[in-house]
Structure 1
Amino acid sequence: MTTAFVSSKGQITIPVEVRATLGLSPGDRVEFVEFEVGQFAIKAATYSVHSLKGMIRKPTVAVSIEDMNAAIAAKGADAR
C-alpha cells in the first residue's frame, strides 16, 4: 500500500508509483471519487471531446477540396 502525507496547506504529493500507473504528468488534474462512505478512489481527470471546442480557430478564408488535394499532391511530390 502506498501512502502520502497531507501538508499544513492540505496538499499531498502523489507517490511516483501512483503517478506512473495513472499516467499523470505535471499540470494534470485528478478526481477524487467517493465509492463508499469515507472511501475515495483517485483517478486521472479525462476530458470529453466537447472540452476541445474553441481550441482551434476557424480559418479566415475557406479552402476548397481541390486546393487541399493540390497542396497534398505538391507536398507529396516534394517528399520524393
Structure 2
Amino acid sequence: MQAILTSKGQHPAQTVAGQLHLQSGDRVDFVIDQAGCVHLVPVTMPITRLKGMTPPPDKSLSLEEMDSAIASGASRK
C-alpha cells in the first residue's frame, strides 16, 4: 500500500487505520527497529494491559525505606 502525504504532513491511510481499529484522535507510536523498518503501533490499550510488563523488584521495601529513598532523592535537587 502506498499513500501520499498532504501539505500538512498527514496521510490518508484509512486501510491501516481500519486494520488497527484506530479512530480519529487515537494516538499511534512510530517504532523504528534496528533494520530501519518502521512499525506503527496503536497507543490505545487499556491501562490494565501494562500489568506484568516489568519484572518484580528483587527486594521489597518497607514504607520507611520508601520514604527515606524519596527524601534522599528530593534532597538532591
Normalised by the length of structure 1, the TM-score is 0.47
Question: TM-score, normalised on structure 2?
Answer: 0.49
**Greater Rg by CA:** 1
